[in-house]
Amino acid sequence: DGGSYDVINDASSPAAGDCCAQQSSARHNWEMNYQEAAIYLQEGENNDKFFTHPKNAKALAAYLFAHNHLFYLMELSTALLLLLLSLCEAPAVPMLRLGIFVHATLELFALVVVVFELCMKMRWLGFQTFIRHKRTMVKTCVLFVQFIEAIVVLVRQTSHVRITRALRCIFLVDCRYCGAVRRNLRQIFQSLPPFIDILLLLLFFMVIFAILGFYLFSPNHSDPYFNTLESSLVNLFVLLTTSNFPDVMMPSYARNPWSCVFFIVYLSIELYFIMNLLLAVVFDTFNDIEKRKFKSLLLHKRTAIQHAYRLLITKQRPSGISFKHFEGLLRFYKPRMCARERYLTFKALNQSNTPLVSLKDFYNFYEVVGLKWKAKRNREHWFDDLPRTAFLIFKGINILVKSRVFQYTMYTVVAVNGIWILVETFMLQGGNFFSRNVPWSYIVFLTIYGVELLLKTTGLGPVEYLSSGWNLFDFSVTLFAFLGLMALAFNMEPFYFIVVLRPLQLLRLFKLKKRYRNVLDTMFELFPRMASLGLTLLIFYYCFAIVGMEFFAGVVYPNCCNTSTVADSYRWVNHTVGNKTVVEEGYYYLNNFDNILNSFVTLFELTVVNDWYIIMEGVTSQTTHWSRLYFMIFYIVTMVVMTIIVAFILDAFVFRMNYTRKNQDSEEDNGIVLEKEISKEEVVGIIELYKRISGASETAQLQKIVLQMDKYGQMSTVFLGRRSRTKSDLSMKMYEEEIQEWYEEHSRKEETQTTLQEPASASNSSLKPLSLRQRSQTVI
């Protein structure tokens, strides 16, 4: 049935020539075009550069092999396996210790898998591109080193100092799923130059003050902080973190009260001025980079769409893409999409009511393809079809649960519950927490919450009830409370922790105020980005943990540092006073690098900064002075990452608040919604088309729609497409005016570089490309 396709003319689809020039059948040719267009669109979405685009059939096969979730999962699990190995390698977590032979073999296995992955990548990219791709080259080098080391370990049957293990995180960073982490790292490195400038200023003042401090305070022999220039420098560095603050001042202050001026001036300049300057500079650079990144991603997507478009038009109909070809594209781009959704996506893109989607319409592809489509219900409530009496009852419940009185009553109950818990907890001072008999207050409040849940579910219908995030939260909290009650009633000790989570119910109070709702909404929007930033921090932690373990494993233990200035914190004495044994315990020996989990906790403590010098001095007293470098570098690295995190949170919230201020009328919208109407004839037409192409397998859902329409006697059905709002949508709105300029500039640049062989109307990119936003409606 290939005859039903338009004959492909190579001139109309020049890009397709790259990987399927040898194909002759038109049908097959079109399939290849669909696939390549889908690949272009994927590259646009993932911000893959086009020079990695597969250039021939062999490369295409490798590309397809390396671009599916199975392969990605393999990549990820190999990387995780390599990282997790450090739990088992000496110094290992006691419970997870493995023999050298076992973990070295596991490592070799993982590395072989990585080699296989790299081979697939080389096959896809070709040797030339492979060599030019920097990240891949770094990965190859690291792989090589790791391979040799793993073999050495196997041969010698003993671990040597392997700080190169810190480089293992490169395998994780290179994973497809860790794209966000890569972007974060890039952004951190881009923010570095101005950061380093200000850091130098900071260190410069530190050196000046160290010299001054040495001159001023070293004559005082009871002052251990400034007796040499080195200790003066170290203590002022620690003072930068305020971690030794009043202590470092005390000996000189005891001697001469005016010496506090030195410290006040130092802290005012360094901590309160230059540190904030650092934040300002990073914040500014960050903002700038975010905008540039958004711009380049936007233009990259646009180019991807242009490439895909050129592969889907025909010479006969050069002004747009027909549904047949669009459907073919979606079969490769989103195989899981059903026929109904494909048609609705096509309808949503097509704004001109012609049977073709023009380039201008096609530019909205990414915004539209993510929508989830649902038939708009004709019924307002789920109980509209019920008998009159039942309807009235449910209607009454519906009005009740939607009323303000009901809401505020519930808030009051939660508040009372909160106070109750507080008072209850205050009353039991170290008694038996989990009495056998369940407290009656618990049952009363739980009953109220249960009734509320029941009323809301019946009044709103389960689907509408659970579609709100807040209700979902209420539901799960009540469920947890119920489970806690069960645990108490049936005396299941391991589940007592659920009872402890009771105070979390108070979180429901935060629905009350708009600012909190905004904060929480923004928090949810930020969550993916925050998670990736957290992961980035963890990667830094991993590197430092490995280095720390290699150098400092086992150096601190109880009573290790009796000669140092921080001896007290490491002391562990067991002495008898009267007839009682008193244990005097300075717990700091627990903050060690004895295995990777301990190292992570120690590094977190270093991140929090308070009293970090105790850990540093403890380790230093057992090793050399140079150990301080490790701790100081770690401080600076976390300072960078933390400043970026602060800048990110600042930026996100300020951005959001500006956005809210700009759009005060449409504040309450919680997503992007699109409405499309489909007539019965259209559905029947689509069914016919599908029957011709691929048999009846895909038309079942469409036929159901026809049946539904027949049942209710409708001539058309309205569908709602919905997706949550992303940062990108907000940016679109914020940079509205600038985006036009970018497009114009971009298309000017393109016109001078390559002459597009498509109709003039298609390359006319000065038309408003994002009309989706205009059509989006506010739904509360």
CB of 605 to a copy of itself, least distance (A): 5
**Amino acid sitting at position 169:** C
Strands 572-577 and 580-585: antiparallel
Residue closest to 117 by CA, chosen among 65, 169, 69, 168: 65
Q: What is the DSSP string of 14-66?
A: GGGHHHHTT---HHHHHHHHHHHHHHHHHHHHHT--GGGS--SHHHHHHHHHH
Residue closest to 286 by CA, chosen among 197, 195, 200, 178: 195
CB of 480 to a copy of itself, least distance (A): 14
Burial class of 329 by CB neighbour count within 10 A (0 to 12, 13 to 18, 19+) = buried
Q: Which residues lie below 8 Å from residue 420, measured CB to CB, with a gap of 6+?
A: 441, 445
Identity of the residue, 71 or 510, whose beta carbon is nearer to a copy of itself in the bound complex: 510
CB of 428 to a copy of itself, least distance (A): 9
| Alpha-carbon separation of residue 410 from 28, 378, 414, 503 (angstroms) | 63, 31, 6, 16
Identity of the residue, 19 or 202, whose beta carbon is nearer to a copy of itself in the bound complex: 202
Identity of the residue, 226 or 332, whose beta carbon is nearer to a copy of itself in the bound complex: 226
Identity of the residue, 229 or 770, whose beta carbon is nearer to a copy of itself in the bound complex: 229
Residue closest to 602 by CA, chosen among 594, 706, 331, 124: 594
CB of 614 to a copy of itself, least distance (A): 8
CB of 12 to a copy of itself, least distance (A): 44
CB of 185 to a copy of itself, least distance (A): 19
**Amino acid sitting at position 671:** G
Identity of the residue, 36 or 617, whose beta carbon is nearer to a copy of itself in the bound complex: 617
C-beta separation of 331 from 33 below 8 A: no
CB of 274 to a copy of itself, least distance (A): 9
Identity of the residue, 610 or 764, whose beta carbon is nearer to a copy of itself in the bound complex: 610
CB of 573 to a copy of itself, least distance (A): 14
Identity of the residue, 177 or 215, whose beta carbon is nearer to a copy of itself in the bound complex: 215
Identity of the residue, 54 or 586, whose beta carbon is nearer to a copy of itself in the bound complex: 586
Give dist(CA 674, CA 371) in Å, integer.
8
Residue closest to 464 by CA, chosen among 376, 375, 381: 381
Give dist(CA 26, CA 315) in Å, integer.
14
User: What is the rounded radius of gyration, in angstroms, for the C-alpha atoms of the chain?
Assistant: 33
Identity of the residue, 21 or 419, whose beta carbon is nearer to a copy of itself in the bound complex: 419
Give dist(CA 282, CA 286) in Å, integer.
6
> Can you read off the two tokens belonging to residue 387?
């008998």
CB of 129 to a copy of itself, least distance (A): 36
Per DSSP, the three-state class of 575 is strand
Identity of the residue, 454 or 657, whose beta carbon is nearer to a copy of itself in the bound complex: 657
CB of 485 to a copy of itself, least distance (A): 16
C-beta separation of 747 from 302 below 8 A: no
> Can you read off the two tokens belonging to residue 33?
């075009």
